[in-house]
Chain A
Amino acid sequence: MEWRKTGKKLIAALLPPAFWLGAWQLCAFLVDLHVRGRGNELLLPYPATVLSALVRLAGTPAFWGTVLATLGRILAGMVLGTALGGLLAALTFLSPWADRLLSPAIRVIQATPVVSFILLILLWTGRDRVPVVISALMVLPVIWGNLSRGLGETDPQLLEMARAYRFSAFQTVKLIYLPSLRPYFLSAVTTAMGLAWKSGVAAEVLCLPRPSVGTQIYNAKLYLEVPDLFAWTVVVVALSLVLERLLRALLRSRKGGANHE
């Protein structure tokens, strides 16, 4: 009975990726058929080709340095954007004037095409800093928006209780606002993580800091090394998903030990 259950779970976990890999394989085969062996690799390489490209890249020492450099930039942008977003959420919540002044500006940031920012910031700062700033700029409005909504939706009954029971401002923040914000923060941070990767790597492609995954993607495009392009993309997707999982687990586990005294 028990092994049957695990077998079922295994199938449920493996079947969807297997299906999509199969679909990829089939499409690559059709492309191959269409160009009659004159290099389907240029258009859509087989999964096996991408895997071998990935293995070849991962074998070089430069690969890990490149991945770490990009990871560092994205994380720095993430931390910066989250901190600023949180700060601005607190500010716009506390002061109506800050809200009137800052809310439209943050909305403008949210609506501005990311490439406009990338090119502008490239002109203003060094190419190494652009991906960090871009990630932070993409993360900030998401964090700010979610936290602002969360602050506004904090249970008024609990806030009235805090007032009637003579909670200090510190207690009200620690015991009511912060725990109430947790689900908003969790959803904001996971959404923001995906955005940070997408925009950060796009900034790298346009600004070519060294070493960086974005520069590698740009080179792969330049030299038509499509399997490499796929391989680097796989790396970015994998990192983004792994980090999102990690973050989720981290924030969840802190809820389990709710007795922060």
Chain B
Amino acid sequence: MSEIRLDHVSFRYGPKEILSDFSLTLPGSGVTVLRGPSGCGKTTLLRLLAGLEYPASGRIAGVSPRETAFLFQENRLLPWRTVEQHLTDVLPRDRRREAEGWLALTELTGEERSYPAALSGGMERRLALARCLALGGTLYLLDEPFAGVDPQRAARIMEGLKRLSVPVLLTSHESNILSLAHRVVDLEGPPLRLLCERKEP
């Protein structure tokens, strides 16, 4: 997949400027971690790429929002659907069998028939991640996928993400996650600013 480019993108929430003439080029493959302090604009950046927000000016190239799979910072699970149903709800009928694989990757095998209320916080997060992965597309945008997930497990899931054929863009603060990424992009803000970019640390 070609690289993802943001050219002079501006975006504001009310009077607050989140992105101001922001430009960034991201690779179209591998796992890239965005790091930066809370509230610096990482989430807004991901939402712009997912097409959930539109830039006031500037241009985003190399992404088609309708083909991205976005993991919200909140789990946004459905209390009345089982673990397995969460995945089959986003999978087309002929791809329902893939659910098993995504549950294995997120280490939720055996919980297929549980409802979210019966899951721990970390498990709920992994279910939200599994659903997002099952949705699929040409780009994964994961906002804090490992919040509340224990570090060893997060590292194993990270290895799984690196094996995917689809590029992954995720935000994280955990140092062990950063050390596993193909690339780390350091950000600061708001308004969002690029500090540095490291490849294959």
Contact = CB atoms under 8 A, between A and B. Distances in A.
A157 interface: yes
B80 interface: yes
A258 to B, nearest CB: 5
A161 interface: yes
A167 B81 CA distance: 15
B138 interface: no
Contacts of B72: 157, 160-161, 164
A102 interface: no
A259 B132 CA distance: 21
Contact of A157 (B69, B76, B81, B82): B76
Interface string B67-103: 0011010101011111001000110000000000000
A179 B132 CA distance: 21
Interface string B26-40: 000000000000000
Given A164-B50, A165-B90, A158 B76 contact: yes
Given A160-B52, A258-B115, A166 B78 contact: no
Nearest to B113: A259
Contacts, number: 40
A174 B72 CA distance: 22
B135 interface: yes
14 contacts: A157-B74, A160-B52, A160-B76, A161-B72, A164-B50, A164-B52, A164-B70, A165-B89, A165-B131, A165-B135, A171-B89, A175-B78, A258-B81, A258-B115
Contact of A175 (B50, B74, B89, B135): B89
Interface string A238-260: 00000000000000000100110
B85 to A, nearest CB: 7
By Cβ-Cβ distance, the 3 closest A-B pairs, closest first, are A161-B76, A179-B80, A258-B80
A75 B186 CA distance: 66
A175 B76 contact: no
A176 B76 contact: no
A179 B78 contact: yes
